[in-house]
Structures are given as structure tokens and as C-alpha cells.
Chains A and B, each alone.
Chain A
Amino acid sequence: MDSEVVLDVQGLSRKFGEQLAVDELCLQVRAGEILGLVGPNGAGKTTTLRSLAGILPLQDGDVRVAGFDVREEELQAKGALAWVPDDAKPFESLTVLEQLEFNAHLYKTEHWRDRAEALLERFDLSEKRDAIGSELSRGMRQKLALCCAWIADPKLVLMDEPLLGLDPRGIREARLAIREWADSGVAVVLSSHLLEWIEALADRILIMDRGQAVFTGTIDQARSDLAGGSDGSLEEIFLSITGPGATAESVK
């Protein structure tokens, strides 16, 4: 792929006290590409995404978003990315439409109302436009988080388990939307434990275990490199290279 590199991560490391959560992580995501981030619980996926989103300060390593250095040009970098957390918490007292209005202003999106209406329609939230944040179910909160991400017109979207709580229709709609957005040139980093979903959607995968990247490449590369060329599913590959007995070194 020759498209522009939207996310460039070099040597990202993150410690909490003495605990190393992310260790020398390197990755690149290009415009229009979907990177699936998978790994067992505690692998460091959420910490990685929160560091990339600027929620956690960077400790070690360099991160560039849309060409902006996250350390030196933090606001420009943040202006180019959107963050969808695993447990979206909308403002409790604002209505759904007000949440979108605020996000549109936050990211200086023009003509936000038409865009908001289209997103609400797409994610089946039109009837909930006047509901306040605390009245939304988990699934609706997650749909609203997706709408908030996309109203910002980002170049990069970081998603941490975005499907939690969504109904089948919502999952399908989210999948179609993510594909469409990627096709329009948005880079997506998607973390999920739903491996079938990642397999169907991601252009490349990054498998993390105990803070380290143990594999980066396409699913087909994973099959040829890690499963001996068999037609094993991502789940089988994942189980074979993570967990007890597997080490980053042995996989590499």
C-alpha cells in the first residue's frame, strides 16, 4: 500500500509503577486501513490505545498521528483522531443531540446538524435524540460513541471493544460503517475479542501478549507464518501463540 501513513508508532513503552504494560511497540497504520488489535486480557491493548489517544501521557517512544508528533503537537494530533472506549460514558445530563453538537464543536466540524441527523438515522438513534445520557442503555451509549467519533471527521479512529452491548443489527451496522469509513480513507485501529469479526474486517492484525507485539501482518501471513499454511481460523492462530507456554521470542 502506498497511501499516507496516518499512525506511526515507534518504540512505545508504558509502565505502571514497576509493571511494564506495553513494551517497545512499533506499528504503522495507513489511510484506509483497518488494523485489528487482538490479545488476551492484560496484554496491553487498552493501555496502548489510551496512550495513542492521549488519555495517558506518553512515557517512552514516539507517536505521530497524521504527521503530527503527539508529544510536540499534541492538540493537532488529537484533532485528527477520534476515540471510542469500551464502556462509553456520555455526559449524563446532555441529550443525544447535544452530545453530538458538543463533539462537533470540539473538533470544529462544519454543518454538524446534517451529519448528526445522518449518523443518528444510521445507528437507529433518531428516536432517542432528546434522551439524556443517563437514560441510554449500554448498546445505545456505544452507538452514540460511534456517532461522536464520526461526527469529528477524523483521519484515525481508535476503537476499544466498540461492539460491547450492541444488538445484532447494531453490530452489522457498525461493521458496514467501519468498512465504509475505511474505504473513504480513514485509518482504523480496532481492538476486540470477537476474533471472527476482526478476521472479517481487518486488513492486518497485531497480536499482543504481555505487552509485546507477537505478530503483525495479514491473516494470510499469520496462517503461513504461524499455522504452517493451514486454513486455521484467527481464533486457532490466536490460541496457539498466546497464553501459557507461548512467548514472544518463540513466536518471533
Chain B
Amino acid sequence: MALLDPALVLLLRLKRRAYWRGFKRRLSTKRGRLFAFAGALFTLLWLGAMSLGPSARQASADFALPTARYILTFFAFLSAGSALLYRGLYMPEDEIERLFSAPLSRPDLVRYRLLTSFGREILFAVFIGILLARRMPRPEFAFLGSLLSMWAITCGSKGLSILVGDAHQKGARLISRIPRGWLRLLVGVGLWAVFALAVMGIGDSELSDAAPRSLMSIVGDTTWLNWVSFPSLPWARAISASTLSEFLPAFGLCLVLTALLFEIAARIPSDFRELSLQTSAEVNLKRARAGTTSAMSVSANRRHLPFVLGRSQFGSIFWMRLTSIIRRARGALIFSVAITGFGAYFISTVFDSAHTEGLVGLGLMCLIYMSAGLRFDFRSDLDHLESMRAWPVSAAKVFAASILPLVCWESLLFWAALIALRLAGFFHADQMIPCAVLFPPVAIFWVGMENILFLLNPVRIEPGQGAAMQHTGRRLILLLLRMALLAIGAGLVWGGTWVGGALGATLGVGEWAETWALSVSLGVVVLVWVGAVLWAGGRAFERMGIENVDP
């Protein structure tokens, strides 16, 4: 008996061909080549630094097994959380009706989705593989073992989605009552913590020798943790194997178990069609809105927000966007509050209270993470951009009013974090006030640049964590461009201050000349930069076309 219906095998083959065709098409344009090169470079540098970096230290054999075991359990729980969020079998909108109405068995549909999931998650699996490989006795065993364990987790998670969906359809009250918003928050914070640990390098000390020892001294002997992490043991053994004779049997067992999980998930006797239609519609809605929002609740729909900036054209656009955010993206807003709280707590534990680096770090986190993650601007309106251009409003005004709500939200969160840290005894007022004042214009610059690039080269952004691995090339270019412009701005401010100081010394007017020169040049640079971004954003909005949206 074939593993999969021949038509689905053909579909997989056609999709693979389509992927390479799309890739070649992208490479046929200068812009595509630039983004692809930058993306490849960034990925290689990142993965290379992770796998070959000088800070890579391997856990001793004693601690390798529990480390692998707990990390896998952590991922399994995160994945289970996602499974509770996306009940039934998710299928993309271009597949669902076609495949559901076709003569295909439900086990085949699940197998097909599992195989496509493996393909989609391979980059993430490689990332985790490298992350674990550098901390285990034998990197090659750890890499292979973690790849397999990620696939096993995918099978388990899909199976759980189907089971939970089935229970939900059969009216299991407990399942229906799980608060999905809080669950989403929990999963999001967990995943963010993983990326933060990996990207920021805290993981080096936390996850290798020192931390497992201290971690295990706290929880290692606790029976419940051992029980909870017990299912991950076979994969953890393969990952932490130090000799070939240890690795081969463990890996073989994992292969069998993963294949079993694959087949069990496929054969769960559940008619998931109705729930899949709901889940898929929800995901598609998020995809259309750049992953920022979900379906609106009836209660949210009733609230009328005031026109906080008046009923002018600018005020109306601002109101429209603000209303959309508050009605449709409450989950994302709560999530951003939690992330800011997490960041503020992290800064309070890592940095000395007198160091400005902590403030700058918090500000950068608010800018980088929230501008990339929240997308409450043109990026969530890809399908409406052309009709927006028919509005009788100047392009610059539309641009400014569209990015302002996100800028306001980021600024509010940053200020709230500053106040909380100040109340907890961190930082001085003379450090905080300049940062607080400078943050909004820098946020306009940051968010504006993101939107300018989006309008010049629109892309559809995947919902959820799928977006994390998307368009790395353009992200790198954007980051470099923003940094370069900020550096030029800083250079101009420094130059202005130096000239002011020199003039002050020549004229003998004292030190205040330098302070004034600093303030004036800073003000001028900020105004020019913000003005330039708004002007360029308006121009980009005028010439934007969505006919060539990169998929």
C-alpha cells in the first residue's frame, strides 16, 4: 500500500517545483538578487556564528541528557499549546475546498499536511539542531537527533490538534473553556524566550554546564519533572549520545517512534472538516492582516472609540486604524505588554541601575521587536492598499496617520516601562527624560522605514512564528539601512555639538554653548529625519503597486 495517495504525491512534487520556480523568478530581478544574497549571507553568518562561535561550549556527558530532555519537553509543551490554539487540521485556503471535496481519505490528508509541515519547519529544526549540537558531546548526533525530535513533536502536535478538535466538536466543555487568548500569550512568550535566549546569547551560560547544574539542583530530582519529561527520553538519548554505539540504537528507536506517531496522527478517527474550515478561515484572516489580528469578537464590536485626534482627514484615518487595532488585535496588544514587562524585568536583573545601556536596550527592544512583530500599519492592509490610494487625502497624510497608532503604542509601552523601572529604583531622571523624549521621533523613523520598504516591495507576511524566518534578506538590508541613517544622524549631531562647543570656546561664552549646540543639532536632525521619512513614505504610497506582491 502506498504511503500517500498518488495525487497528493504529485501535488508535493509540483509544489517543490513551484518553490524553485518562484525562487528563480525572484533571482531574475536585481532587487530579488539583492534580497536573496543578503538573506543567505545573514543566515550563513548567523548559523555559522552559532555553530562555530568561540562561546560554544559543550555540556559534560552528565548534564547532556537532562539538558536535552528538558529542552525537548519545553518545545513539546509549546507545540502542544499551539495545538490547543489551532484545533482540527489547518489547511491553506487554496487547498482546503479542493482537497476536502476530492476523493481523498482523511488519513491521507493528514499525512500530506504532516509532510508539508516537515518541509516548512526544516529551517526551524536546523536552527534547534545547531543550537543543541553545540552543547552536546557529539554535535553530529545531536543535530540528527534534534531534527528527528522536531518532526516527532510536529506529529504529536498535529495529532493533539485533531484530538482536541474532535473533543471540542463532541462538546467537551473543558476544551471549549480553555482561554485561547491566554494560551496564545503563554505560547508566544515561551517562543520569544527561546529566540531571546538563542539570539541574545544568554543561552551560552544558561543552557550549558552552569545552568543545568543549578537547574537540576532545584528541580532535577523532582519526580514530577522527570515524569513530565519522560516521553522525550528516547530522543534526548539520541541527541546526547557520546559514542556511535550509544547513538545508533537510540536513533533507530526514535525513527520507529516518529514513524509511529506519524501514522497514529494520520489514523485518528475524527471528522475534522468543519473545525478545519473554521481554523483555516481564522489563519487566512490573520495572513491577510499580516498576522496581527484575528476574528473580531461580538463584544468588541460594540465599543465606539472617540475620534481622539478630531474628525479631520488625518484624525479620521488615525481613528479608523486605532479602532481596527483595538477591536481586532487585543491579543497582540496584551502580548506586547507582556513582552515589554519581560524586557523590563530582564533589564532590571542584568544591568546595573546606573547604566544607560539598559535604557537603550529597552528602547531598542521596543523598537525592533514591536515594529517587526506588531505590524498595525500598511502591512496589515495589503488587500486594501489600492482602494486607500483612491482616498481624497494627500499620500503623506495617509502615511503619517497610518503609522502613528503603532508609534503611539510603542511610545506608551516604553514610557510605562520607564516609569515602572524608576518606581523600582532604577535609573535617574536625567537619564530617563532624554530617552523618553527622543523615543517617539525615533519610533516614527523606525516604523516609517519599515513601511516605506513594504510599500516599495510589498510582501505577504505569515501569521504566527512563521513570519520569524520570512524575508531575512530584506530585513537585514532594512536593519543596515536604518542603522546607517541613525549613524549619519548621530554624526551630524556630534558635528553640530563640536562646532557649537568650539564656537563657544572661541567666543568665551562657557560650556552652555555646547549644551545648546547639542540640543539644537539634535532637534534639527530629528525634525529633518522625521520629515524625510514622512515625505518618502508618502512618495512610496503614491507609487506603490500590489500587482507584484512577493508571495
Interface string of A66-91 (1 = CB under 8 A from B): 00000000011011011101000111
Interface size class of A (residues with CB under 8 A): 20 to 34
In the complex, chain B residues whose CB is within 8 Å of the CB of A133: 94
In the complex, chain A residues whose CB is within 8 Å of the CB of B549: 134
Within 8 A of B (CB), among A45-82: 50, 53-57, 75-76, 78-79, 81-82
The answer, among A94, A95, A106, for a CB contact under 8 Å with B104, is A106
**When the two chains form their complex, are residues B277 and A56 in contact, meaning their CB atoms are under 8 A apart?**
yes
In the complex, chain B residues whose CB is within 8 Å of the CB of A79: 103
**When the two chains form their complex, are residues B97 and A85 in contact, meaning their CB atoms are under 8 A apart?**
yes
**When the two chains form their complex, are residues B100 and A105 in contact, meaning their CB atoms are under 8 A apart?**
no
In the complex, chain B residues whose CB is within 8 Å of the CB of A90: 94
- Interface residue B392 (Cβ < 8 Å from any Cβ of A): no
A134 and B551 contact, Cβ closer than 8 Å, known pairs A56-B274, A105-B6: yes
**When the two chains form their complex, are residues A94 and B274 in contact, meaning their CB atoms are under 8 A apart?**
no
- Interface residue A93 (Cβ < 8 Å from any Cβ of B): yes
In the complex, chain A residues whose CB is within 8 Å of the CB of B94: 89-92, 133
The answer, among A50, A83, A95, A105, for a CB contact under 8 Å with B10, is A105
In the complex, chain A residues whose CB is within 8 Å of the CB of B6: 105
- Interface residue A101 (Cβ < 8 Å from any Cβ of B): yes
Interface centre among A53, A76, A92, A148 (most CB of B within 10 A): A92
Interface string of B20-45 (1 = CB under 8 A from A): 01100000000000000000000000
In the complex, chain A residues whose CB is within 8 Å of the CB of B18: 91, 93-95, 98, 132
Measured CB to CB, the closest approach of chain A to B410, in angstroms, equals 33
Measured CB to CB, the closest approach of chain B to A164, in angstroms, equals 15
**When the two chains form their complex, are residues A54 and B10 in contact, meaning their CB atoms are under 8 A apart?**
no
**When the two chains form their complex, are residues B551 and A83 in contact, meaning their CB atoms are under 8 A apart?**
no
The answer, among B19, B96, B103, B104, for a CB contact under 8 Å with A76, is B103
Residue of B nearest to A134 (CB): B551
- Interface residue A102 (Cβ < 8 Å from any Cβ of B): yes
Q: In the complex the two chains form, what is the Cα distance from A132 to B23 in whole Å?
A: 13
In the complex, chain B residues whose CB is within 8 Å of the CB of A57: 271, 273-274
In the complex, chain A residues whose CB is within 8 Å of the CB of B17: 98
Measured CB to CB, the closest approach of chain B to A191, in angstroms, equals 15
Measured CB to CB, the closest approach of chain B to A96, in angstroms, equals 12
The answer, among B96, B98, B104, B273, for a CB contact under 8 Å with A75, is B104
- Interface residue B105 (Cβ < 8 Å from any Cβ of A): yes
**When the two chains form their complex, are residues A94 and B14 in contact, meaning their CB atoms are under 8 A apart?**
yes
Within 8 A of A (CB), among B99-130: 100-105
In the complex, chain B residues whose CB is within 8 Å of the CB of A123: none
The answer, among A92, A103, A106, for a CB contact under 8 Å with B551, is A92
**When the two chains form their complex, are residues A107 and B103 in contact, meaning their CB atoms are under 8 A apart?**
yes
Q: In the complex the two chains form, what is the Cα distance from A56 to B551 in whole Å?
A: 29
Q: In the complex the two chains form, what is the Cα distance from A107 to B10 in whole Å?
A: 13
Q: In the complex the two chains form, what is the Cα distance from A90 to B100 in whole Å?
A: 14
Q: In the complex the two chains form, what is the Cα distance from A107 to B98 in whole Å?
A: 12
Measured CB to CB, the closest approach of chain A to B90, in angstroms, equals 15
The answer, among A56, A81, A93, A95, for a CB contact under 8 Å with B19, is A93
- Interface residue B357 (Cβ < 8 Å from any Cβ of A): no
- B interface residues, tally (CB under 8 Å): 29
**When the two chains form their complex, are residues B101 and A55 in contact, meaning their CB atoms are under 8 A apart?**
yes
Q: In the complex the two chains form, what is the Cα distance from A54 to B274 in whole Å?
A: 10
**When the two chains form their complex, are residues B103 and A55 in contact, meaning their CB atoms are under 8 A apart?**
no
The answer, among A54, A106, A148, for a CB contact under 8 Å with B7, is A106
The answer, among B7, B101, B277, for a CB contact under 8 Å with A105, is B7
Interface centre among B94, B271, B273 (most CB of A within 10 A): B94
In the complex, chain B residues whose CB is within 8 Å of the CB of A50: 97
**When the two chains form their complex, are residues A102 and B7 in contact, meaning their CB atoms are under 8 A apart?**
yes
Measured CB to CB, the closest approach of chain B to A40, in angstroms, equals 23
**When the two chains form their complex, are residues B14 and A81 in contact, meaning their CB atoms are under 8 A apart?**
no
**When the two chains form their complex, are residues B14 and A101 in contact, meaning their CB atoms are under 8 A apart?**
yes
A81 and B105 contact, Cβ closer than 8 Å, known pairs A89-B93, A106-B7: no
Interface string of B154-172 (1 = CB under 8 A from A): 0000000000000000000
Measured CB to CB, the closest approach of chain B to A66, in angstroms, equals 12
Measured CB to CB, the closest approach of chain A to B22, in angstroms, equals 6
- Interface residue B11 (Cβ < 8 Å from any Cβ of A): yes
Measured CB to CB, the closest approach of chain A to B204, in angstroms, equals 39
Q: In the complex the two chains form, what is the Cα distance from A18 to B497 in whole Å?
A: 70
Measured CB to CB, the closest approach of chain B to A158, in angstroms, equals 8
In the complex, chain B residues whose CB is within 8 Å of the CB of A56: 273-274, 277
A78 and B101 contact, Cβ closer than 8 Å, known pairs A92-B551, A98-B18: yes
- Interface residue B95 (Cβ < 8 Å from any Cβ of A): yes
Measured CB to CB, the closest approach of chain B to A169, in angstroms, equals 23
Measured CB to CB, the closest approach of chain B to A206, in angstroms, equals 20
The answer, among A81, A101, A102, A134, for a CB contact under 8 Å with B101, is A81
Measured CB to CB, the closest approach of chain B to A94, in angstroms, equals 5
Measured CB to CB, the closest approach of chain A to B115, in angstroms, equals 16
**When the two chains form their complex, are residues A106 and B103 in contact, meaning their CB atoms are under 8 A apart?**
yes
- Interface residue B384 (Cβ < 8 Å from any Cβ of A): no
In the complex, chain B residues whose CB is within 8 Å of the CB of A148: 98
- Interface residue B15 (Cβ < 8 Å from any Cβ of A): yes
**When the two chains form their complex, are residues A89 and B97 in contact, meaning their CB atoms are under 8 A apart?**
yes
Q: In the complex the two chains form, what is the Cα distance from A70 to B102 in whole Å?
A: 12
In the complex, chain B residues whose CB is within 8 Å of the CB of A105: 6-7, 10
Measured CB to CB, the closest approach of chain B to A91, in angstroms, equals 5
Residue of B nearest to A145 (CB): B98
Interface string of A114-137 (1 = CB under 8 A from B): 000000000000000000111000
In the complex, chain B residues whose CB is within 8 Å of the CB of A54: 100-101, 273
Interface string of B214-235 (1 = CB under 8 A from A): 0000000000000000000000
A106 and B102 contact, Cβ closer than 8 Å, known pairs A56-B274, A94-B18, A98-B18: yes
Measured CB to CB, the closest approach of chain B to A237, in angstroms, equals 31
**When the two chains form their complex, are residues B7 and A55 in contact, meaning their CB atoms are under 8 A apart?**
no
**When the two chains form their complex, are residues B100 and A55 in contact, meaning their CB atoms are under 8 A apart?**
yes
**When the two chains form their complex, are residues B105 and A75 in contact, meaning their CB atoms are under 8 A apart?**
yes
Residue of B nearest to A77 (CB): B103
**When the two chains form their complex, are residues B274 and A102 in contact, meaning their CB atoms are under 8 A apart?**
no
**When the two chains form their complex, are residues B102 and A91 in contact, meaning their CB atoms are under 8 A apart?**
no
In the complex, chain A residues whose CB is within 8 Å of the CB of B15: 91, 93-94
Measured CB to CB, the closest approach of chain A to B88, in angstroms, equals 12
Measured CB to CB, the closest approach of chain B to A97, in angstroms, equals 10
Q: In the complex the two chains form, what is the Cα distance from A101 to B6 in whole Å?
A: 12
Q: In the complex the two chains form, what is the Cα distance from A102 to B12 in whole Å?
A: 10
16 additional contacts, CB 8 Å, given A75-B103, A93-B551, A102-B11? Answer: A53-B101, A54-B100, A54-B273, A55-B97, A56-B277, A78-B102, A89-B94, A91-B11, A91-B14, A91-B15, A92-B94, A98-B17, A106-B104, A132-B21, A134-B551, A148-B98
- 5 A-B contacts (beta carbon < 8 Å): A53-B97, A83-B98, A94-B18, A132-B21, A133-B94
List 7 A-B pairs, minimum CB-CB distance, nearest first. Answer: A93-B18, A79-B103, A83-B101, A106-B7, A105-B7, A78-B103, A53-B101
